Amino acid sequence: MDRLTEMEAFANVVDQGGFTDAAKKMGISKSAVSKHVSSLESRLGARLLNRTTRRVSPTEIGLAYYDRARRVLNDAGEADALVTSMQSAPSGLLRISVATDFGVNHLSPVLSDFLQNYPDITVNMVLNNRYVELISEGFDMAVRIGELEDSSLRARKLAETSKRMIASPEYLEKYGRPQKIDDLNNHKLLHYSNQSSGSVWKITAPSGEKRQIRTGGWLSVNDGQSLLTAAISGLGIAYLPNYLYGEAMAEGLVEDVMPNLPMETQGVYAVYPPGKFTQPKVRAFIDFLVQAFAEKQAEDW
């Protein structure tokens, strides 16, 4: 029997909670679904489903197999859809979620070129510093920086940006420059409240040791640009990506607080729900961003 059909039958039984509904979903008979699942179990040499008169549920092995099988089926569906979509011109409404600071400074400036290249696409770019649930909130994709939390989403890396601790010359003159990581505990640390690591800075020591510094309550802001402004004003030390502080550092408004530390880098990613990349409008925009940021280096934003 076809292995994908066996997988599909099994996955549908798990999804639908029984053979009858799975058969309706697939448009085949209940006995055919049962035959596919039995063939799969026989081939694998393992029982994947617990069958009772009232319900059907996956065994522990079955649940593990289901997770992988569902990914394979999704990939197969995307492959088929990709061929179809590549023959269609990109069009329609494209909803994008992006952090305010990155959207204003780096996404908005390139949008005009994209829209000129794809006049049949309408863009709705939502600037928001909170974590957005793409599927439930109706977004086609997002641009995110740093560690990716949701493993159910697909991602394509667009570029990298460095991340450093920065402060104004006036602050460093008044409070001194920290010589070692532990010295940061005695400084005014400006906290970005929306970061995925919570109120902790993850720092690499010169030895390569991974350290964590807990930020205090001196100032907490949910917007990176506002945090940079606070650092420029001498309110404390901020831990920010280069795409935010690069220009201010070039103008001498802020300095690298601990230049002896290894450079930290963060990825800049286009993320999207499974299946969305097969949509021409999403694929076109992601391909465009890859080209737009192709020459960006980690410390060149």
CA dist 49 and 67 (Å) reads 14
Of the listed ranges 24-33, 87-96, 265-274, the one predicted with least confidence: 87-96
pLDDT at 22: 93
pLDDT at 198: 67
pLDDT at residue 279 in the model: 85
Fold identical between 3-85 and 89-301?
no
- Give the start-to-end residue ranges of the domains of the chain: 3-85, 89-301
With a pLDDT cut of 70, the percent of the chain lying above it is 96
Residue 197 has pLDDT above 70, yes or no: no
pLDDT bin (cut points 50, 70, 90) of residue 217 is low
Q: How many CA atoms lie within 13 A of 72 on its CB side?
A: 13
Residue 93 has pLDDT above 70, yes or no: yes
CATH placement of domain 89-301? 3.40.190.290
* Most confident by average pLDDT, 122-131, 186-195, 197-206: 122-131
Residue 281 has pLDDT above 80, yes or no: yes
What is the per-residue pLDDT across 150-189, written as a single tens digit (0 to 9) for each?
677 899 999 999 999 999 999 999 999 999 999 999 999 9
pLDDT bin (cut points 50, 70, 90) of residue 1 is low
The proportion of the chain whose per-residue pLDDT surpasses 90, expressed as a percent, equals: 71
- Per-residue pLDDT band for 86 (boundaries 50, 70, 90) equals low
pLDDT at 136: 87
Position 158 scores a pLDDT of 96
- When pLDDT is cut at 50, 70 and 90, the band that residue 85 belongs to is low
Of residues 84 and 73, the one with the higher pLDDT is 73
What is the architecture, at CATH level 2, of domain 3-85? Answer: Orthogonal Bundle (1.10)
